[in-house]
Amino acid sequence: MNTDLFGEAPRRASAADIKRVKDLHVQLHAHAHRYYVLDDPQVPDAEYDRLFRELQALEAAHPELQSPDSPTQRVGGKPLAQFASVRHKVPMLSIRTETDTEASGAKNFDTRVRKELGLKEGDPEVEYVAELKFDGLAMNLRYENGVLVQAATRGDGEVGEEVTQNMRTVRQIPLKLPADAPEVIEVRGEVYMRRADFEALNERQREKIAKGAKGEKTFVNPRNAAAGGVRQLDPAIAADRSLSFFAYGLGEITPPEQGGPVFGTHLQLLLTLKSWGFPVAAQTSPAQGATELIAFHENMRRQRDALPYDIDGVVYKVNSLELQRQLGFVTREPRWAVAHKYPAQEQLTTVLAIDVQVGRTGKLTPVAKLAPVFVGGVTVTNATLHNEDEARRKDVRVGDTVIVRRAGDVIPEVVGVMPEKRQEGALQFTMPRQCPVCGSDAVREEGEADYRCTGGLFCGAQRKEAILHYAHRRAVEIEGLGDKLVEQMVDASIIRTLPDLYKLGLTSLAGLDRMAEKSAQNLLEALEKSKQTTLPRFIFGLGIRHVGEATAKALAKHFGKLDGIMGVTAEDAPSTERLAEVDDVGPIVAESIHTFFQQPHNREVVEQLRACGVRWEEGDPAPRAFLPLSGKTFVITGTLPTLSRDEAKNRVEAAGGKVAGSVSKKTHFVVAGEDAGSKLVKAQELGIEVIDEAGLLRLLATAA
């Protein structure tokens, strides 16, 4: 029996191994098809790589399981039927990936190269060229007599697809080369999309979707968008993708004996390509030995997120073309090049829950709680879903398998879900209508993306902010109560809500950091002093959303008393209109004040503050502006001859009236137009005055 290096007999493949290999074939073929043929990958690259490596490992352990149709025996996928096939004159190889993502992984490559070249310790360093590994797709550009005649994708490395039309739309690709270019030359490089172009494309896609365009979608990342653009049958769509290109190598070229150029090094080749008009990344640089490769890897890792495009690693190539020839190939990978990746920025994981977090200012943010996953160099367990619309757009549900992205220091993001893995019965996410921290109403104002908790004074999440605002110099003013102190007092649970401030004593303060008895005494005095305040300062100090100093002053002037404001908002619907009579107060502000004082907790805090001795001088309410229809409720029904329903409503409201949706005993007038139905009947039953449009216009005219 054969034994391996360690003298152990290799284990025979078990039934489970055989099944797993079959399973991996099916999965890898399916993923490769989605990736290469449909441009619509289901899984992030890292997941594909993982499955691929698992299969490689199984095949290595049990060579009898390796079959010619294994995905490990073929790279890429079949071209789409619609494109013409192109057989590459020189196969488009792939490069071996160094699995170690640590910078030191570069050493393995250098060691292999040195060994292959028969170099001993003490022999000079091998010279390399270090390049970026662009995250796009490989392209072969064929020029004959200086003219771009054909562009082809890599396909399976032997046969690709002809995408000449589409590549002609890429501005960075020269259509014509200078006279010193050889008769035949194939330039190879990467087609990719810059991040800014990608964001702009997705923005355009979102607009199209919002306008109801069918069959449009947003893209998960620049690479998918670029791949989709390259493989468009319609070159106009490819042009719309704003693709970019970097050159990094050669395919066929006129041989020197037929007058073709002679290159000694890879760097020389790149510089020549550059002189012919091809973009070559500025970061490309020569590197002596492993040390400089390691430094390059490290350096680029730091620059990675600042680059205007995605890279997934760096590539090292032996610089001397003669040494490249000596090194040759193993199967389909050159021994003279290696891809050295960075930790993947995208991974798959599952959504354990969707929590809603409340920020310091009351903003509610849905957050996906994830099964821990290592992505972008850290373990991620949370990803923000930003707001309700975003959560809906992505349609993330509990139990879903999602793609998580973390690039640089940017907060981790769910970039997409895999609907095919969704469990049956998974519910769509809905934003809670109550604050998860304090139970107050959560509201989303018109035109706003965010829900906000309205329990500003009471909400635990907003505690620090609320106290600081109240204590502000222009609000109630508590001298010496700054953010450090508030932070400490809240964290130590010495204060929970505003009234607790006035219950502080020397003993509770003395326990705080950097709080000498003298400063504690000063704070208590400042608190005592703050009790005598003014109504506008107090109103401003409550921190009601949209109520700044000017609005607080206007409210105080208009109502004279706090009870006036709170009272008016305690009544139901008409309150917002009464509030809107105040100078400076529009419907959104009115609504915000109304909701604030509707929260029982907020009212309680105000009462407690008064009970603690906070006081101000009150005045008389300003005489109310005469609004002729105020106090009158209208119901509009049927089609009016000239006014639309909205116009009629606006005019009634402008004159101080209220428009209700249904007829009740409280209705004063029913305005009936053509085809008025049940509301008219109800009005007649209740004996409510029914008028027509002309009657309404007369009322409004006397009002004016």
Stretch that binds ligand IVH, among 331-339, 459-467, 533-541, 633-641 (CB under 6 A): 331-339
Using CB under 6 A, which of 39, 47, 98, 131 touches ligand IVH?
131
Smallest distance, Å, CB 154 to ligand IVH?
6
Q: Is the CB of residue 270 less than 8 Å from the CB of residue 250?
A: no
Residue 347 near residue 44 (C-beta atoms within 8 A): yes
- DSSP-derived pairing of the beta strands 451-453 and 442-444: antiparallel
Write down the least CB distance from residue 31 to ligand IVH, Å.
16
Question: Which residues have a Cβ under 8 Å from the Cβ of 166 and sit 6 or more positions away?
Answer: 151, 229, 230, 231, 232, 235, 238
Residue in 337, 468, 565, 640 binding ligand IVH, rule: CB under 6 A:
337
Binds ligand IVH (CB under 6 A): choice among 71, 249, 412, 455: 249
**Shortest approach of ligand IVH to residue 146 CB, angstroms?**
24
Instruction: Tell me whether residue 154 or residue 469 sits nearer to ligand IVH (CB atom).
Output: 154
Phi, psi for 455 (deg, rounded to 5): -90, 45
In the complex, least distance from residue 189 CB atom to ligand IVH, rounded to whole angstroms:
8
- Residue 33 Cβ vs ligand IVH, minimum distance, rounded to whole Å: 17
Closest C-alpha to 119, from 267, 326, 319, 286? 326
Residue 438 exposed, middle or buried by CB count within 10 Å (0-12, 13-18, 19+): buried
Q: Work out whether strand 244-253 and strand 85-87 pair parallel, antiparallel, or are unpaired.
A: unpaired
- Scanning 12-20, 110-118, 129-137, 550-558 for contacts with ligand IVH by CB under 6 A, the matching segment is 129-137
How far apart CA 553 and CA 574 sit, in angstroms, is 22
* The binder of ligand IVH chosen from 235, 261, 279, 334 (CB under 6 A): 334
260-319 residues in contact with ligand IVH (CB under 6 A) are 315
* Closest to ligand IVH by CB, 75 or 396: 75
Which residue lies nearer to ligand IVH by CB, 133 or 452?
133
Here the tokens at position 12 are: 């025979």
Using CB under 6 A, pick the residue from 18, 95, 588, 700 that binds ligand IVH. 95
Stretch near ligand IVH under the rule CB under 6 A, chosen from 127-135, 405-413, 519-527, 654-662: 127-135
Smallest distance, ligand IVH to C-beta of residue 547, A: 56
Catalytic residue check, 679: no
| Interface positions, 517-556, toward ligand IVH (CB under 6 A) | none
Of 231-239, 333-341, 468-476, 687-695: span binding ligand IVH (CB under 6 A):
333-341
Judged by CB under 6 A, the number of residues near ligand IVH is 14
Q: How far apart are CA 409 and CA 378, in angstroms?
A: 10
Site for ligand IVH in 207-226 (CB under 6 A): none
How far is it, in rounded angstroms, from Cα 591 to Cα 181?
A: 72
Q: Which residue is nearest to ligand IVH (CB)?
A: 138
Question: Binding segment for ligand IVH among 91-99, 478-486, 495-503, 654-662 (CB under 6 A)?
Answer: 91-99
Whichever of 287 and 635 has its CB closer to ligand IVH, that residue is: 287
* Residues β-bridged to residue 139: 153, 189
Minimum CB distance to ligand IVH, residue 135 (Å): 7
Q: Nearer Cβ to ligand IVH, position 91 or 560?
A: 91
Q: How far apart are CA 540 and CA 527, in angstroms?
A: 17
Q: Distance between CA atoms of 232 and 374, rounded to whole angstroms?
A: 34
Q: In DSSP terms, which residues pair with 383 in a beta bridge? A: 368
Which region, judged by CB under 6 A, interacts with ligand IVH, from 88-96, 167-175, 429-437, 695-703?
88-96
Question: What is the residue whose two structure tokens read 């000449």?
Answer: 164
Query: In the stretch 133-172, what mask flags binding to ligand IVH with x, by CB under 6 A?
Result: xx---x----------------------------------
36: DSSP letter? I
Amino acid, single-letter form, for residue 233: L
Query: Is 94 among the residues that bind ligand IVH (CB under 6 A)?
Result: yes
What is the distance between the alpha carbons of residues 393 and 396, in angstroms, rounded to a whole number? 8
SS3 percent helix, strand, coil of the chain, rounded to 5, is 40, 20, 40
Paired tokens of 609: 């503050």
CB-wise, 248 or 559, nearer to ligand IVH?
A: 248
Q: In what order do the strands lie in the sheet with 669-672?
A: 658-660, 633-637, 669-672, 689-691
Phi then psi for residue 113, to 5 deg, are -60, -45
Instruction: Mark residues 178-197: x for contact with ligand IVH by CB under 6 A, - for none.
Output: ------------x-------
Separation CA 35–CA 155 (nearest Å): 11
243 binding ligand IVH? (CB under 6 A): no
Q: Which is nearer to ligand IVH, 222 or 543 (CB)?
A: 222
Sign of the CA dihedral running 552, 557, 560, 566: negative
Q: Cβ 21 to ligand IVH, closest distance in Å?
A: 24
For ligand IVH, the closer CB: 155 or 366: 155
DSSP conformation class of 448:
-
CB of 93 to ligand IVH, least distance (A): 4
Judge contact between 98 and 339, C-beta under 8 A: yes
Q: Calculate the CA dihedral of residues 524, 525, 528, 531 and round it to 10 degrees.
A: -110
One of 89, 120, 133, 214 is an active-site residue; which one? 133
CA distance 18 to 92: 32
Residue 344 engages ligand IVH in binding (rule: CB under 6 A): no
- Distance in Å, CB of 76 to ligand IVH, minimum: 9
User: Which three-class secondary structure state does DSSP give residue 258?
Assistant: helix
Residue type, 564: G
Give least dist CB 72 to ligand IVH, A: 14
Q: Given the complex with ligand IVH, which of 249 and 455 has the nearer CB atom?
A: 249
| Residue 211 Cβ vs ligand IVH, minimum distance, rounded to whole Å | 36
**CB-based contact 543:470 (threshold 8 Å):** yes
Rounded distance between C-alpha atoms, residue 349 and residue 454, angstroms: 34
Residue among 98 and 190 whose Cβ is closer to ligand IVH: 190
Residue 605 to residue 466: CA distance in whole angstroms: 12
Select the span of 90-98, 467-475, 495-503, 638-646 touching ligand IVH (CB under 6 A): 90-98
Q: Is 104:294 a contact under the CB 8 Å cutoff? A: yes
Among residues 45 and 190, whose Cβ is nearest to ligand IVH?
A: 190
Binding site for ligand IVH (CB under 6 A): 93-95, 131, 133-134, 138, 190, 248-249, 315, 334, 337, 339
Residues designated as active site: 133
